[in-house]
Amino acid sequence: MLNFDYLNNLNDKQKEAVTYLNGPLLIVAGAGSGKTKVLTSRISHIILSGKASTNEILAVTFTNKAANEMLSRVLSNLKKKKFGMPWIGTFHSICVKILRKHARAVELNYNFTIVDQDDQKKLLKNICKSEKIDTKKISPNYILSVIEKWKNKGWYPENVKLKKSDKLEQAFLKIYKIYQTKLLDLNACDFNDLILHCIKIFEQNPDITKMYSKNFKYILVDEYQDTNFIQSKWLNLLSLENKNICCVGDDDQSIYSWRGAEIKNFLEFDKIYENTKVIRLEKNYRSTQNILSTASSLISNNENRVGKTLFTDGENGELVYMDSYRNGKDEAVGVGDKIEKLKKNFNLNNISILVRAIFQTREFEERFLKIGLPYRIIGGTKFYERAEIKDCVAYLRIVNQPKDDLSLERIINVPKRSIGETTIKAIYDYAKNNGYSLEVGAKKMIELNLIKPKPKLGLNSILNLLSRWRSELKNNMSHVKLLQIILDDSGYSQKLKDKKDLENENRLENIKELLNAMKEFDNLESFLEHVALATSLDQDWQSEKVNLMTMHASKGLEFDIVFLPGWEEGLFPHQKSIEEKGESGLEEERRLAYVGITRAKKIAKISFSMNRFYQGDWMDSMASRFVDELPEEYIKKNNSFVDESNQDFDFNQDIDFEDEVRSPGWIRYQKKLK
């Protein structure tokens, strides 16, 4: 007697999605609608119905964690402890299996090596060196991102389409050709090659394509909205024979175009696969109705979407809160205040702050450190522990304290000054043996001609700069201005500007945020003391912590309470996204807002500031256009929206906001000081 108990726990639409087994199926699964349950129940149903064996089912995910979770749930449904499903895995893990078997078809041996990102960078650096390309001006990371973009489009070097006028990409194409040749010489490939080579094998060997396509009676794909062009093509080739492909996802949560994801794969699914059945999972098991109605109303402003309306059988819940603040600092204070009150009834682990850009966490971190509110950064590093921030602080410390050997060791060759590890060790040993600081030891070794010419030149450069910066400090230069000069004189800021990639752009934003933070301190000593306390503070005394992360990092997560600060034009939607992608960029930003709101189970609090330090300058802010798109009937605004006195507020006046705060956290902080 077959056991279909898992069907009893499904709603009507979920059950329909599980039991429809004839032809292409697109499951439009809204946030919190139980898509994983549907996907795993469908696999179980295929097996128990005798439609396919475990070897005839291909189930593709984006992460190993998701693949393991899928297998675990299938085992639970089938009431089995062990069960072999060889074709459950990520795109890459499945492609590795195929490629090992048919490696010779793409001039590889079966025992080929998969190079990681570090190896890719090393290989590209060597190629750039041989081609006399300055990696100080063009980052290998940037070149790698361009090559990945081409591979995601299914382009080998001979297929790349370029404008003849684009000389930079012409140079990159030459590197790409050499890069691919080198990989073949090494009997190696990178992660993007795994799918690219499989496509080549399938296109050049129809018999191989037919073998796999015939074998996979059912294909299931999770998070289909995140697929890129080549992944979609790969799935299409594998489904040629049986046509039983089921893709699950949510076009309203497509937020990874910067990784190559193409939403049109989802929107045009019915054009790619004839006779497609579309099933919408609209019943939400996560959030209150007011949260869902707010999110649904917002996302309805997007034109490019399949369309759905989320609902719940649960309670309406609280209205979505909308707060306005005078500036970013005031916003951090206000959020901290609210968390102090909420933590009486909610575990801190169930409270999250979702920001558009990672630099925004700084003001919240500062505030939480001050009042003793424990926090963690999800998917990132705490502000004062980020590499570029530690570099800046090290520069300031060695200028302020010439005996700070650790700081000098950190920045002595940052940016590169031809001072290698061997030279640094020699200076360190000499200084230690003679009782000198590292800086004095370096000076003595230069005087005694104990340093080789090339590193000697670099050492003289940094030592002269340190002397100049100390003179500026003695002449009462502000600590903010001093750091700006240090970054310019050392070449540090230029290094970040020259290497054009997302990582370096984020680093520059973080440094600008650091300069903003420094303005809150009277002098360099007080700022450095603050940093020392912030980085040494042990926050593990309490297991509960508030979660800080970007909205991108929050996808797939859920929390009782979600704060969404910084809803201002230029910041969110992000100006760069609109400038580069126009309307499609705006729609993706709106989808990101939708993702942010739908992370909340019980309470969502959106806020914006009327004045914010952004990109190195104070700016009068306008509320995000998304604020205007939120439905009035589901929003509760704070008093500042209707208080006309705010219109006369002078953004330039110097106000000590701390004096106005009387939250529990503030009281606790004051007691610490006494």
Q: Report the catalytic residues.
A: 35-36, 222-223, 253, 599
Query: Which amino acid belongs to residue 165?
Result: S
How many whole angstroms separate alpha carbon 53 and alpha carbon 349?
A: 42
CA–CA distance, 217 with 333 (Å, rounded to integer):
57
The token duo for 145 is 């991102």
Backbone phi, then psi, for 323, in 5-degree steps?
-120, 140
| Cβ atoms of 469 and 485 closer than 8 Å | yes
C-beta of residue 40 within 8 angstroms of C-beta of residue 77: yes
- Buried residues in 225-248 as b, exposed as e (16+ CB within 10 A): bbbbbbbbbbbebbbeebebbbbb
What letter would DSSP give residue 319?
Answer: P
Which among 100, 175, 168 is positioned nearest to 144, based on CA atoms?
Answer: 175
Please list the helix, strand and coil fractions of the chain in percent, rounded to the nearest 5, in that order: 55, 10, 30
For 523, left (φ over 0), alpha (ψ -120 to 50), or beta?
beta
Q: Is 461 helix (H, G, I), strand (E, B) or coil?
A: helix
For residues 234 and 70, the answer to whether their CB atoms sit within 8 Å is: no
- Exposed, middle or buried by CB within 10 Å (0-12, 13-18, 19+), for 441? buried
Q: Read off the tokens for 7.
A: 């069907």
The dihedral sign for the CA sequence 92, 98, 102, 106:
negative
How far apart, in whole angstroms, are the C-alpha atoms of residue 195 and residue 235? 10
What are the tokens at 359?
Answer: 């630099």
Q: In one letter, which amino acid is 82?
A: K
* Per-position DSSP letters for 114-180, written without gaps between them: E--HHHHHHHHHHHHHHTT--TTTS-HHHHHHHHHHHHHTT--GGG----TT-HHHHHHHHHHHHHH
**Strand pairing class (320-325; 635-637):** parallel
How many whole angstroms separate alpha carbon 96 and alpha carbon 90? Answer: 10
CA distances from 386 to 360, 506, 526, 554, 653 (A): 13, 11, 20, 20, 32
The residue length of the chain stands at 674
Longest Cα pair distance anywhere in the chain, in angstroms? 90
What's the distance, CA 231 to chain centroid?
A: 21
Give the residue ranges of DSSP H helices in 49-116: 64-77, 91-101
How far apart CA 231 and CA 237 sit, in angstroms, is: 10
Q: Are 575 and 629 in contact (CB under 8 A)?
A: no
Q: Residues of 22-59 as b/e, b for ≥16 C-beta within 10 angstroms? A: eebbbbbbbbbbbbbbbbbbbbbbbbeeeebebebbbb
111 neighbors 467 (Cβ within 8 angstroms)? no
Neighbours of 5 (CB within 10 A): 9
